[in-house]
């Protein structure tokens, strides 16, 4: 849910998903299946898991990124189009979208989308991962999933993001400072 929560309209949404190459295909397909299983609908319905985008302007922005991703060669695992059937036709609904085959130079890998769109990017080793993860102009939030405590500590120290969550995402506490690096955030908020 790092990028799907609130339809991706969160400043710290995890839009880049770096996946170790040896499990890339299987893991990316599983994330797509998870996204495809989320219920999209009216935000006032308690059964809804993914609500609409905030405005028509935001819908145009997000669908523009969906078109750009396909034009630049990304492969759609799930989603990828505005929902226009039934009650969705009157709203600004974009389903959870997972793209594979994403290169670092694609717009969806370099720009903030603010929609439920994630880019799956394979990596070979930790050095490559750190280099590529830090090549963005943003640095607000990052998540690391691993069973290896050494990898978790290494990545938490070397990824240039204001928060590096381990085996979770967006675990916020007002006693813990929050802010970013580079073009992200406005300094630090919350605790010391």
Give the model confidence (pLDDT) of 2-35 as tens digits.
Answer: 999 999 998 888 899 999 999 999 999 999 999 9
Percent of the chain with pLDDT over 90: 79
Confidence of residue 146 (pLDDT cuts 50, 70, 90): very high
pLDDT at 18: 95
* Closest of 164, 146, 148 to residue 156, by C-alpha: 164
Distances (CA, A) of 157 to 69, 142, 160, 162, 191: 31, 12, 8, 11, 20
Distances (CA, A) of 8 to 11, 20, 113, 122: 8, 23, 8, 21
Kindly report, residue by residue over 154-175, the tens digit of the pLDDT. Answer: 999 999 988 899 999 988 888 8
pLDDT at 182: 77
pLDDT at 84: 95
- Which domains does the chain possess? 1-124 (3.40.309.10), 125-192 (no CATH)
Give bridge partners of residue 179 from the DSSP assignment: 188
Instruction: Check pLDDT > 80 for residue 70.
Output: yes
Q: Quick one: tokens of 30?
A: 């599983």
Sign of CA dihedral 45, 50, 54, 55: negative
pLDDT at 106: 95
Please give the angle made by the CA atoms of 74, 78 and 83, to the nearest 5 degrees: 110
pLDDT at 125: 95
Q: Quick one: tokens of 24?
A: 């890339």
Kindly report, residue by residue over 87-119, the tens digit of the pLDDT. Answer: 899 999 999 999 999 999 999 999 999 999 999
How far is the C-alpha of 97 from the C-alpha of 101, rounded, in Å? Answer: 13
């Amino acid at each position: 849910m790092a990028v799907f929560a609130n339809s991706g309209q969160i400043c710290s949404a995890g839009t880049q998903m770096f996946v170790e190459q040896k499990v890339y295909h299987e893991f990316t397909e599983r994330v797509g299946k998870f996204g495809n299983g989320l219920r999209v609908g009216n935000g006032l319905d308690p059964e809804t898991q993914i609500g609409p985008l905030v405005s028509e302007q935001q819908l145009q922005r997000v669908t523009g990124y969906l078109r750009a991703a396909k034009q630049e060669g990304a492969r759609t695992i799930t989603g990828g189009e505005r929902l226009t059937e039934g009650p969705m036709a009157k709203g600004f609904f974009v389903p959870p979208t997972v793209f594979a085959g994403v290169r670092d130079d694609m717009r969806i890998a370099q720009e903030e989308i603010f929609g439920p769109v994630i880019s799956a990017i394979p990596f070979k080793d930790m050095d490559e991962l750190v280099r590529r993860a830090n090549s963005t102009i943003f640095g607000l939030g990052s998540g690391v999933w691993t069973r290896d405590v050494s990898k978790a500590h290494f990545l938490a120290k070397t990824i240039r993001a204001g928060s590096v969550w381990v085996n979770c995402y967006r675990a916020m506490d007002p006693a813990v400072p929050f802010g970013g690096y580079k073009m992200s955030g406005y300094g630090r908020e919350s605790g010391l």
